[in-house]
Chains A and B, each alone.
Chain A
Amino acid sequence: MTRGAIPGAIFLLAACTSIHVGEPAKLSERDLSEVHAVLKRDFHARGIATMARIEPDSVQTACNLHHDHPPAEVARPIEEAQLKAIRFPAGELMGDWRRGQKIAESGIGMQWTDKPGSPSGGSCYNCHQLSPQEQSFGTVGPSLLAFGKARGSGAETQRYVFGKIYNAKAYNLCSQMPRMGHSGTLNEQQIKDLVAYLLDPGSPVNQ
């Protein structure tokens, strides 16, 4: 009797474990390897979207482990390494704001339906307000209205903007902004064009 009752009681206890509705998950290292293993098992490569995309790198792991708020001693060295990996071109970093506008508006690219080698957009308007003329803008990121008007277009600012678009995580480790250059979404010239869209006094962003 008693021997049979014990597993029953354990089962009941397990059955009563309440699920955690309404609470963000705080992922442990074990959770990270569990989810990673499930992703590996339950996803497949399609087109340009290869399985390499679910292999975690140091940024993702640190942010997952610290719920996007890593302590400075964790964040700093990774940010520095990300900054070092940015390939800043020599010379002028301002491209053509007109081309930049098209890149900012376009949300295509990097999906399994996209052809290999076809140029991607920057998806900027999905998350940011930029030109006052475009009413259909997202609010996941901060408004960049009059961005260059407020900051000017000096060499330092150009370098910062280029770097931020290339790899936002070099400046704020767990930023929700994709690493546009680092991930191979945008090339050097496209990022330069976006720098111009943000900083050029003639760009609609700064009107």
Chain B
Amino acid sequence: MSLARWIPAAAFACACAGAAAQDAKKEIEKYQRMIADSSPVELFELEGEALWKKKQGPKHVSLEACDLGLGAGVLKGAYARLPRYFADADRVMDLETRLLHCMTTLQGHSREDATKRVFGNEDRLSEMEYLSAYIAGQSRGMPMAPGTSHPKEQAAFELGRKTFFYRAGAWDFSCASCHGEEGKRIRMQDLPVLYKPENARPVVATWPAYRVSNSQFKTMQWRLNNCFQQMRYPEPNYASDITVALTMFLTATGEGEPYRGPGTKR
């Protein structure tokens, strides 16, 4: 990687046994708190706000009439209620799936056009990433409460739950292979057991998130896409039912946690 000169994989903190490990854990938590306190994510929220209001697409309209579940143009608290069932599409949708829906129906983009660049980089975020930052930020302080009463919402949760434990791919992995047992880590990275509410809560409360290691802003669709890449699967379709189902599974598992994102992570 290109940061190599600045950040060689050298000098690891001796996070070994007993009290030392406890101290190391505390210090890492302090680090995480400090980077969140001095995070630049608000800049991305500002860009997202401008994009939300910008007239775009063949129909030359903004996204301001987009209904994220609480009524056309209502942003306050909308992210905390996703994923949810949308009658107009007869589908359960997460934030990005819904935005894609609005880009095609309201702005007149083709699906192909609107998904050409959904994952950006450190030099330029994608529109989806800026918009996610802005919209998620409008739910700060509100408890995560995805839709779980509609039969299709429940079906999405169940599909997500089954997929989480289903092993496949070139390396025989399920999500639970890495996120199914307490106290495990990959290299130095702790692995939260994501089917348990106490572990899912802080995760769903902080995505989407800014990654300080590569200065990129990442959405939930990216998070799942990258998991499948590392699991050596083929690639999930963007905003497909299975990605929405997994997000529904995680979000409903972490239900009730006040949203405090967009987060800032290592």
Contacts and interface: CB of A to CB of B under 8 A. Distances in A.
B184 interface: yes
A25 B165 contact: yes
Given A46-B234, A125-B187, A126-B186, A60 B159 contact: no
Interface stretch (A71-79, A175-183, A188-196, A199-207): A175-183
Contact of A49 (B13, B188, B235, B237): B235
Contacts, number: 156
Interface of B: 9, 12-15, 148-151, 154, 157-159, 161-173, 176-178, 180-181, 183-188, 191, 195-197, 228-230, 232-237, 240-243, 245, 252-253, 255
Nearest to A168: B172
B258 to A, nearest CB: 18
Given A54-B233, A136-B187, A140-B185, 15 more contacts: A32-B166, A36-B168, A43-B228, A49-B234, A54-B169, A64-B166, A110-B170, A127-B186, A135-B14, A135-B15, A169-B172, A176-B177, A178-B170, A178-B171, A184-B170
A56 B171 CA distance: 11
B26 to A, nearest CB: 18
10 contacts: A20-B158, A41-B240, A42-B237, A43-B240, A44-B237, A49-B232, A49-B234, A53-B234, A135-B13, A176-B177
Interface string A76-107: 00000000000000000000000000000000
A118 interface: no
Contact of A35 (B151, B159, B172, B252): B159
Contacts of A178: 170-173, 232
A63 interface: yes
A135 B195 contact: no
Contacts of B157: 19
Contacts of A14: 151
A193 B211 CA distance: 36
A41 B168 CA distance: 15
Contacts of A172: none
A17 B240 CA distance: 25
Contact of B171 (A32, A35, A110, A135): A110
Contacts of B168: 36, 39, 53-54, 56, 60
A138 interface: yes
Contacts of A126: 186-187
B187 A35 contact: no
A25 B242 contact: no
Contacts of B14: 135
A111 B230 CA distance: 7
Given A25-B162, A25-B165, A38-B241, A46 B187 contact: no
A20 B230 contact: no
B265 to A, nearest CB: 18
A69 to B, nearest CB: 13
A171 interface: no
Nearest to A55: B168
B235 A112 contact: yes
Given A25-B162, A27-B165, A140-B178, A110 B242 contact: no
